[in-house]
Amino acid sequence: MKSVRFMTSLILLLLCGACLGKKALTPPASASPSPVVSPIVSATAPSPSTPKVEPGELQVGQASGSYTARGQKVELKYAYAGRAVRFGTESLVILLTDQPIPADQLAEEIKSATLLEGQKLRGLEYVIDDNGMWVRFHPSQYQESSSNKIKNYRVEGDIVRGEDDGSGLSENYSRSVKFVAAIVK
């Protein structure tokens, strides 16, 4: 009889323990999940003045695409922008190049395109003002001007972006590029 009592007590104890353990592990059905608060702050979170970059989009300072001049195709990877006087007017100058422009030469390059004109870099030089745009191919010096604006052209704070599909304008010259550039002061 003692063994039956002992076994019954043991079974009851196990059942109660199992019930208590189950309640502790499963929240009531009416309870809503608590938000998880992470103490980690992302160092790459965009600030309010920085446009959000979607995966696959160009980063600031990048260009993609190419131009063709006299049958030679040039891939463009770098994008720069700044303000300079061109044609007697304060303009936005955008440089898309195949090689990076050294930081200590960037202001001068935007002002006068010395590396592009000296054939140390290859690329496109855009000048945008109230009358339209002008583009010059380097090193060939081929130039076009148009009242047409660059597609998807936007200036957001100190960032300029756009697309130019100037293909088919000439038998020997074409371009198809996208860019995002910081406007240097």
Residue with tokens 């076994």: 7
Angle at 115 between CA 113 and CA 121, to 5 degrees: 115
Return d(Cα 76, Cα 178) in angstroms, integer.
Answer: 9
For 18-32, write each residue's pLDDT tens digit.
444 444 444 444 444
Angle of CA points 176, 80, 71, to nearest 5°: 35
Domain ranges of the chain: 62-184
Q: Are 109 and 80 in contact, with CB atoms under 8 Å apart?
A: yes
* pLDDT tens-digit readout, 137-164: 999 888 988 876 789 999 999 999 999 9
- pLDDT at position 168 is 57
Residue 95 is classified by DSSP as E
Which range is least confidently modeled, 70-79, 158-167, 168-177?
A: 168-177
- The answer to whether residues 51 and 159 touch, using CB atoms and an 8 Å cutoff, is yes
pTM for the full predicted model: 0.69
What per-residue confidence (pLDDT) applies to 54?
58
Predicted local confidence at residue 107, as pLDDT: 95
Q: What is the mean pLDDT of the chain?
A: 77
Whether the CB-CB separation of 31 and 134 falls below 8 Å is answered with no
The CA distance from 30 to 51, in Å, is 41
- CA atoms of 9 and 6, how far apart (whole Å): 5
End-to-end CA distance of the chain: 95
